[in-house]
Amino acid sequence: MTEFTILPAVDLMDGQAVQLVQGVAGSQKVFGDPVVAARRWQDEGATWLHLVDLDAAFGRGSNADIAARIIAELDLAVELTGGIRDDDALERALATGCARVNIGTAALERPDWAAAVLGREPERVAIALDVKDGQVAARGWTSQGGDVDQVIDQLTAAGCQRFVVTDVASDGMLAGPNLELLARVADRTDAKVTASGGIASLDDLLQLRALADRGVDAAIVGTALYLGHITLPEALELAE
């Protein structure tokens, strides 16, 4: 059976761990010290962490010091994302020792740069596709970046080995993942797919697990863990 990975999420805003609803600034639920949150997921068995700098994504600041501390102090493979739009930001992110970075807006606005990055760091760079109404959303989900199928085709041709796919309408809503969208992306590309957005229950994870052989081999879980709808040990057991 294809391996399936659970990535608990720690989203950083104003130095706190938060969860947004549909990516809307001001909708956040605050969950306190992000280092404590990350350590909790490690203690409960996580091997990967999805770490998001929301202030960097929205272009209004940075939580780089907190991200670096989490990466340095914990024994987790960290997927780091948020505001990585040029070589300087990419190098700073990779220098933290994270296992992988996600590039979102820049892959849409600077496709030649993204292709060059994928050529240099194919194992350490994934492309984040945040999808809203059939379009890829950019700039912290505040603008549109093109038709999702066209973007997938272009970035697959450029050498993308992993897409992190978020259904904006589902994110933070605990309404279930968009299985149709995830299957559509997985069937369109040879790249692996990480599912993000809407996961609310173990049944949701079971349905995602069933897509593993088609290429959906990982899932990011945020709000459901923080609110106790899912426990991480249960999720990890199911994934195995």
Taking only the tens place, the pLDDT of each residue in 6-41 is 999 999 999 999 987 666 666 678 999 999 999 999
- Please write the tens of the pLDDT for every residue from 182-198: 999 999 999 999 999 89
DSSP label at 45?
T
Residues 102, 129 contacting (CB under 8 angstroms): no
Distance of alpha carbon 218 from alpha carbon 236, whole angstroms: 11
- The answer to whether 56 touches 62, Cβ cutoff 8 Å, is yes
Asked if 219 and 189 touch (Cβ cutoff 8 Å), the reply is: no
CA gap 161, 32 in Å, rounded: 34
Tokens 């173990």 belong to which residue? Answer: 202
State whether residue 127 is helix, strand or coil.
strand
pTM listed for this prediction:
0.92
Residue 57: which of 149, 169, 168 has the closest Cα? Answer: 168
User: Per residue in 84-97, pLDDT tens?
Assistant: 999 999 999 999 99
What's the Rg (C-alpha) of the chain?
A: 16
pLDDT on residue 225: 94
For each of the domains in the chain, give its residue range(s) and CATH number, in order of start: 5-232 (3.20.20.70)
How far is the C-alpha of 135 from the C-alpha of 203, rounded, in Å? 27
For the annotated catalytic residues, the residue numbers are 11, 130
Position 145 confidence tier, pLDDT thresholds 50, 70, 90: low
CA nearest neighbour of 77 among 166, 7, 164, 4: 7
pLDDT of residue 206: 96
